[in-house]
Every structure is written in structure tokens, then in C-alpha cells.
Amino acid sequence: MNILHITSSVRGDDSESTRVTKLIVDKLVSSNPEAQVVRRDFGAQPHPLLDGAAVGALFTPVDQRNAEQAARVALDDALILEAQAADVIVIGAPMYNFGMPVQLKNWFDAIARSGVTFRYTETGPEGLLKNKKVYVATARGGVYPVEADPQVPHIRMLLNFLGMSDHTFIYSSGLNMGPDAAANGQQAANEAVEAALA
């Protein structure tokens, strides 16, 4: 089993989403001792933004790229290869201002490449990152009912677009609503992890 462990919080060891992803990965490894884990901490080491230079490099034919363009594309290529090789992807997605951190959005921008991780067909787009299990640990200060959650639908849409339709979301909610609410939110996340990996 190949596990890709992605964290995106800027809070380091104080991050709840990171804590939960580590719990998930530890349980996966304990059940699969031969598992190989690749870790990407985008909170500590952000991936470059998708800017004009990056787009220019991507749209320049391979044999016409200069050294700087080739190096920039190679950074995205590495993330794509990791996603392709993974059997399980564990993602830490704290809620920042009702959405995902830019550090995580950069990863989606890097791996979403037409003809490689998705393609357009006569019937619409087809994701090519198939047959993967994805766990997403999201931490938020408040409590959001499913029908009013501003973050998860966007992440789910991106995963589905890329072909990763087998995903489980683990919620740590109410973290900024007082000590009792935070403890309850963390306990709910712990129980959800146990249920998901039972």
C-alpha cells in the first residue's frame, strides 16, 4: 500500500487537522505494516503558486522549455507522480475563511493537468486518478450543517473531477466555541476515524 499524507495547516504541531491525519495514517500503517508513506507538509513547505510564469511553462512544448520552465514544471510533475502512485491519500484541510487553505489549493492546481489526471471527452470530463481511497480531515472553529458547509463541496468537487470518488470526510468542529465544544469536536473526529477504519 502506498499512502500519500498531505497536510496544509500553517499551525504546525498545534493543528487539529494535522493531528487527525496523523491518526488516520498511523491506523493505516498499523494495519498494513509494509505500507510506504510519502508526506507533504504544504503548511511548512508551500508549493509555488500557479502564476503566469507557471502557466507559460506548462503551455510551452517540452522540447522548447528553457531551464527555468523545465524546473517549474518538474515541481508539479513530482506531485502528480505521487498522486498517481498512491493507493490511499490522506488530506488535512483546515477551514480558513470558509474555504481550504491556499496551500492545499496549490496542490490541486498542481496535479490537475489535462490529458494526465483528467481528460475531456464527448460526454464531459473524466478523472484519471481512479481507484484511490481518500480521507479528508477538516477542522473548523464553528459548526456547519451539511447543507450549509462552504468548504467540503468544493473539495469534493475537485476530488471527483480528478477521478477520486471514494472519499471520506472527518470533521473536527466547534474548535473555537469554548473548551467543551472543542473537546467534543475532537472526540467526534476520533470516533469518526475509528468507524471509518474499522
Predicted confidence (pLDDT) per residue in 17-38, tens digit: 999 999 999 999 999 999 999 9
Q: What's the whole-model pTM score?
A: 0.95
Q: Are 8 and 94 in contact (CB under 8 A)?
A: yes
154-166: average pLDDT: 98
Give the pLDDT score at 161: 98
Residue 12 Ramachandran class (φ > 0 left, ψ -120 to 50 alpha, else beta): left
User: Taking the CB of residue 142, how many other CB atoms lie within 10 A of it?
Assistant: 13
Q: How confident is the model at residue 108 (pLDDT cuts 50, 70, 90)?
A: very high
Distance CA 12, CA 6 (A): 13
Average pLDDT of the chain to the nearest whole number: 96
Q: Residue positions in the annotated binding site? A: 9, 15-17, 95-98
Q: Are 140 and 104 in contact (CB under 8 A)?
A: no
181-198: average pLDDT: 96
Q: What are the structural domains, with CATH classification, of the chain?
A: 2-196 (3.40.50.360)
Q: Are 80 and 110 in contact (CB under 8 A)?
A: yes
116-126: average pLDDT: 95
Q: Residue positions in the annotated binding site for FMN? A: 9, 15-17, 95-98
Q: How confident is the model at residue 147 (pLDDT cuts 50, 70, 90)?
A: confident
**13 pLDDT above the threshold of 90:** no
